[in-house]
Chains A and B, each alone.
Chain A
Amino acid sequence: MSILLEAKEVSKMFGGLKAVSNFDMTINKGELIGLIGPNGAGKTTAFNLFTGVYQPTTGVINFAGKSLKGMKPSQITQRGIARTFQNIRLFSELSVLDNVKIAYHTHLKYNLAEAVLRVGRYMKEEKRIEEAGRELLKIFKLEDKADEIAKNLPYGAQRRLEIARALATRPQLLLLDEPAAGMNPQETNELMDMIRWIRKEFALSILLIEHDMSLVMGICERIYVLEYGSIIAHGLPEEIKKNPEVIRAYLGGEA
């Protein structure tokens, strides 16, 4: 298997506070990996480092063989990392379809003059992403809500739309930040199936943060456990379940 993302001894300081330290992680092509840990362990910070929202204080992050150092989030998205947010960040006043259309941004091939003059290429490209967008919404059972305003969608549908939108950027690696938060068990089950399916269908690697252990243990092939900004364990789900360090971190007290 070839390595897609590699983080080596990454740390991030906020003032004097160490949010993440000595963080190592490898994600191979096609893998589905879980990142778990107590609240405030630095999981979302890791996502922010991978997507360029933050720059690491020390260490390197390589993606598809190239360093991500100094890149803006938009450049990293163009490289092929997409994400969702823990606190949903949709374009809430826009329609569902427009949310997805924006995500096709980097794949549109017309320039300013062509857009303003509405030449054939503009027309063709707009038509193409409109169709692609509707196609994508169909996968996420949102096709009949395409013209609704995003903020009016039920919570679960908003989470699905966020994933659809992330996929529209055509990533190689998809980062999901608590995709099942706020979902009921049935929705969570559907979500698990969907995550498995999109990984296969879109030939993706997926890294997900999740508190729902049944989901993490159910679908992840490998799991990293983060506590106080450091990886305290990583391995197969069964290994993680039995790891005394992990049990201590989650249940408190001495193992």
Chain B
Amino acid sequence: MGAVVISTNQLTKKFGDFAAVDSVSFDVYQGEIFGFVGANGAGKTTVIRMLCGLLLPSSGTASIAGFDIYSQTEEIKKSIGYMSQKFSLYEDLTVKENIRFFAGIYGLSDKEIREKGDGLVFELGLQESAKKKVKELPLGWKQRLSFSIAIIHSPQVVFLDEPTSGVDPIVRRQFWELIYAASERGITVFVTTHYMDEAEYCGRVSIMVDGKIRALDTPSNLKTRFSGNTMGDVFRSLARGAARVGD
């Protein structure tokens, strides 16, 4: 195992009396693909938003790349990438223009933007579509482009919030090839999903139910422990009786 990149301790977020995230503690190691699995409303997105600096925790501590999430948000922002639940490229800009924009926001030089942009377009097989507007691309391509752009500045960690919602398992599989490639380059991947096939692809999986982490281990260990054949079985046995039922 590499160095600890994300570390949380008793991290909690309350909205009024409602604890969306309730005393969550875990560590994520460098280069790991760390999955956050749970039904809608279990609190996955809230955890990601706290770690990315979009929400201030109610209590508990957390650090990313050694930086404290309360006091060192500027440093954290430079070391992370983020792909939100909502599709978030500019549809009225072309593939190249989106790349240029987000790379520019992260302070890449013109030369780096050109080199990385060309590499990215090549890697995704988008040479033909580089000058097309993003809205003309199929959803699966958009998601892969969005991911590649989220890591264009070579962050230490990339946070993916349900990155593949709305596409079929084959397209999801293609997306995961990009995740593996990023992980091999040493980028830590923190991904939330409610697809159980994706949970199988993760290095370790944490299962969230009603704002709490109910289990955290590798997929094979979890399956042994909860005597299930698939991650779906594991999830169902843990989530039975959950108060917050997803839609």
Q: Do A and B come from the same complex?
A: no
